[in-house]
Amino acid sequence: MNLANAVLAVNDDLPIRTSAAVHSGKVRSVYWLTESDSQRLIASQGYDVPIDTPLAVMVISDRISAFDCVWKAQGGLDGVPGKGTALNAISNHWFDLFKQNGLADSHILDIPHPFVWIVQKAQPIMIEAIGRQYITGSMWRAYHNGDREFCGITLPEGLQKDSKLQNLLITPSTKGVLKGIPDVQEADDANISRKSIVDHFGRFNFKSVDDVALYESLLKQGFDVISGALAKLDQIFVDTKFEFGYVKDRTGRDKLIYMDEVGTPDSSRIWDGEAYRNGQVIENSKEGFRQLLLKQFPDPDILLNKNRMPERFALAKDNLLPQEVLLQVSKTYMDIAEKIIGKPLALNADPRQEIIDVLNSKYALID
């Protein structure tokens, strides 16, 4: 198999009929469908949403980002083989498990292809909802440097690196730059306290102050469901990011749902249980790639210091990684995905053409 063809690095130029400009993020691209196509699919596919609900096709890629940069390898390998398939498969598995456990719905209405979701439009909560069960990463670095308060939560003295916290901590940060909210830094990914969210719930797009407690409950329940399932596989769910938003149910009422992806190696840290019990941390998530990058370059402060972003972008642009680096990341993603879903995953030989074919033949969405 030609690995370059099997990798979908560019996902914002597919000939999908849209009603707005394609929104391309670090990993996913969103194609908003025309009103007539949305209504046609709702009727023909039997989606359980109001007939006037805007729909989108969300296409994942195999790009890998870390430290706010996209990284590529030598030999034209512009992404990680199997990464998109693995991320979607893991999210699909957890969303199904959430439904089985009576938790909230997600924004996903249909899965035409391993790289593709058809989703309903949601009004996002402007919070990156982060749950932490262990002290590691940026929290440990800040704690080690003397910080004891995180998002309004005071941590005790004497914690050790990578140790389990007494309780699951919710440490939210801003999703995008929010301006004019007292005590909230006007920056993306700025830490925020629960008090700020409650006092200004409408500014974060909550419909009511009671929904602040609801999002916290859904985060904790979702974390517990994933953590319990991973524990059965002798994997440790260390921390994760959830995103939430509102959609309309069939009667037109607002309901809070899970958005984006959940419990993936991109949005979470997952450690091998046996290794941890033996005093070693083995990452089954993107954190292993981050640590590799920190060791790859002589001045890791470029990757950690947000005041050096121009240097960081130049570093990623001008340094193609060895192919074996991205192939090892591929193995990490595919292995943990197969462990979670309980069956093998196959690489798609030509995902771009496969996506076009299925969206044309079954959904008539290709121009």
Per-residue pLDDT tens over the stretch 117-162: 999 999 999 999 999 999 998 899 999 999 999 999 999 999 999 9
Per-residue pLDDT tens over the stretch 155-191: 999 999 999 999 999 999 999 999 999 999 998 889 9
Q: Using an 8 Å Cβ cutoff, are 22 and 12 in contact? A: yes
Per-residue pLDDT tens over the stretch 182-236: 999 998 889 999 999 999 999 999 999 999 999 999 999 999 999 999 999 999 9
- Closest alpha carbon to 116 in 346, 356, 361, 366: 356
Measured distance CA(250)–CA(273) in Å, rounded:
43
Measured distance CA(67)–CA(286) in Å, rounded:
11
pLDDT of the residue at 366 = 97
In angstroms, what CA-CA distances link 150 with 100, 138, 187, 220, 241? Answer: 33, 11, 16, 18, 16
pLDDT of the residue at 249 = 86
Q: Using an 8 Å Cβ cutoff, are 34 and 40 in contact? A: no
Domains and CATH numbers, the chain: 3-122+342-361 (3.30.200.20), 123-277 (3.30.470.20)
pLDDT at residue 1 tops 80: no
Q: Using an 8 Å Cβ cutoff, are 240 and 131 in contact? A: yes
